[in-house]
């Protein structure tokens, strides 16, 4: 038998090529939540993005045809190295392979409309190019994911800047909580929520974001052609 099987080498440092899901956490920074006047959460708010949403530097973020209201959300991404179900918080960090800086691009038109109507957030969160991602950052480069400074600039203007110590639910808590409902698998990415400072992006904007002293990413915005 030849030709029917291709060997896939699962290299965690290229998790975006074969990872099976992206789990988003909403409203995990009190500042962001307060400003939008949302009720305080007692449990994490979760959503999914398909892995077809990943893009890497060099590819543009495309504003979908159905909206011109797409916002940037800079977020710490956690890359799962060892899967599991009902993972105890005390064991959660053993399941982490590393990290990545991600942008949870969000189409606010459909988000607000579907939210108001009590409908799913799918079009707001899952569109093509809605998950620009940095290189993989091995776990040993980040001794404490709860003490990282995240920032994002649009056309050189600082829009988002916060420390992950402000997160309402910590990385170990999120891993444990999510895995009670959704089995975590090797290569999954958890986007841990965005701090305050979202703003709409437009064609030809240049987005630059970073985790201080660790990584920087740059993406250009374009409009999806009809």
Q: How far apart are CA 197 and CA 212, in angstroms?
A: 17
| String of DSSP letters for 99-123 | EEEEE--EEHHHHHHHHHHT---HH
Asked if 25 and 188 touch (Cβ cutoff 8 Å), the reply is: no
**In the complex, minimum distance from the CB of residue 104 to ligand OAA, in angstroms, rounded to a whole number:** 5
How many residues line the site for ligand OAA (CB under 6 A)?
Answer: 9
Nearer to Mg ion, 13 or 69 (CB): 69
186 binds ligand OAA (CB under 6 A): no
Q: How far apart are CA 23 and CA 26, in angstroms?
A: 10
106 binds ligand OAA (CB under 6 A): yes
Candidates 193, 209, 210, 217: give the one binding ligand OAA (CB under 6 A). 193
Nearer to Mg ion, 51 or 194 (CB): 194
The CB-nearest residue to ligand OAA is 26
The partner in contact with residue 27, picked from Mg ion, ligand OAA, none with C-beta cut-offs of 5 to 8 angstroms by kind, is ligand OAA
Rounded-to-10 torsion of CA 145, 48, 193, 183: -30
How many residues line the site for Mg ion (CB under 5 A)?
Answer: 3
């Amino acid at each position: 038998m030849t030709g029917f099987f291709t060997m896939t080498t699962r290299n965690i440092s290229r998790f975006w090529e074969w990872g099976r899901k992206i789990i988003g956490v909403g409203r995990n920074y009190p500042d962001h939540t307060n400003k939008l006047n949302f009720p305080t959460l007692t449990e994490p708010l979760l959503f999914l993005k398909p892995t077809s949403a990943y893009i890497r530097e060099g590819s543009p973020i495309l504003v979908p045809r159905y909206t011109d209201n797409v916002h940037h959300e800079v977020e710490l991404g956690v890359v799962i190295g060892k899967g599991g179900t009902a993972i105890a918080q005390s064991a959660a960090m053993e399941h982490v392979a590393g990290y990545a800086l991600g942008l949870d691009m969000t189409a606010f038109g459909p988000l607000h409309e579907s939210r108001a109507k009590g409908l799913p957030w799918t079009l707001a969160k899952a569109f093509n190019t809605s998950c620009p991602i940095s290189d993989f950052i091995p776990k040993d480069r980040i001794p404490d994911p709860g003490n990282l400074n995240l920032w994002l600039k649009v056309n050189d203007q600082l829009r988002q800047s916060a420390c992950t110590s402000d997160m309402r639910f910590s990385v170990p808590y999120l891993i444990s909580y999510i895995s009670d409902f959704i089995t975590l698998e090797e290569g999954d990415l958890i986007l841990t929520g965005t701090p305050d400072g979202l703003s709409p992006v437009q064609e030809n904007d240049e987005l630059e974001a970073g985790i201080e002293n660790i990584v920087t990413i740059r993406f250009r915005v374009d409009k999806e052609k009809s």
